[in-house]
Amino acid sequence: MELKVGCPVILLRNLNPPKLCNGTRLLVKSLKKFIIECTILTGCGTGEDVLIPRIPLIPSDLPFQFKRLQFPVKISFAMTINKSQGQTFNVAGLDLSVECFSHGQLYVALSRVTSKQNMFVLANDKKAVNVVYKDIL
């Protein structure tokens, strides 16, 4: 991953709840060797400048364990419906060319913006299927 100043990132770990939680979006202001200076874009600390340190991470997908210092962020030009839950955006786009796969996801996705004029939806044939299995209900 190559970060640059001005790049939007998403936090992958809880560092200082409720301000710096998993899923918080940040904008990179400056890059240092052991710290990233960012501005919070979403959540209760919106507009506040914070420092993101390198933290020890242990990969779990390998047959052996090792620890390395790593920044707990990922570049975030887009996010899933699940990651957007609980957040509010000024403008959002929704890709419905692939069906929503669980009950309530369409509602969560459409309710993330402050007004319907700021939600842009891409759907095949101008219709979307919200998959609900009536047998379960």
Residue 38: is its pLDDT beyond 90? yes
Judgement on whether residues 55 and 36 belong to the same structural domain of the protein: yes
- Could you give the CA distance from residue 68 to residue 117 in angstroms, rounded to a whole number? 45
**Structural domain count, the chain:** 2
Residue 119: is its pLDDT beyond 60? yes
Residue 94: the pLDDT is: 86
The residue count for the chain: 137
The share of the chain scoring above pLDDT 90, in percent, equals 31
Residue 85: the pLDDT is: 77
- Does a structural domain hold residue 132? no
Which domain, by its residues, includes 98? Answer: 81-126
Domain end point (choices 60, 75, 90) = 75
Residue 126: is its pLDDT beyond 90? no
Bridge partners of 26, per DSSP, are 9, 40
- Does a structural domain hold residue 65? yes
Judgement on whether residues 13 and 68 belong to the same structural domain of the protein: yes
Judgement on whether residues 36 and 65 belong to the same structural domain of the protein: yes
Judgement on whether residues 55 and 89 belong to the same structural domain of the protein: no
Give me the chain's average pLDDT, please. 85
> What is residue 43's three-state secondary structure?
coil
Judgement on whether residues 71 and 28 belong to the same structural domain of the protein: yes
- Does a structural domain hold residue 3? no
What is the tens place of the pLDDT at every residue in 87-117? 778 888 888 877 766 667 778 888 888 888 9
Judgement on whether residues 27 and 45 belong to the same structural domain of the protein: yes
- Does a structural domain hold residue 137? no
Rounded average pLDDT over 52-81: 88
- Could you give the CA distance from residue 26 to residue 39 in angstroms, rounded to a whole number? 5
Q: Tokens for 85, please give them.
A: 């839950």
Q: Beta strand 92-95 with 119-122: parallel, antiparallel or unpaired?
A: parallel
Judgement on whether residues 15 and 62 belong to the same structural domain of the protein: yes
14 versus 103: the higher-pLDDT residue is 14
Q: What global pTM score does this model have?
A: 0.69
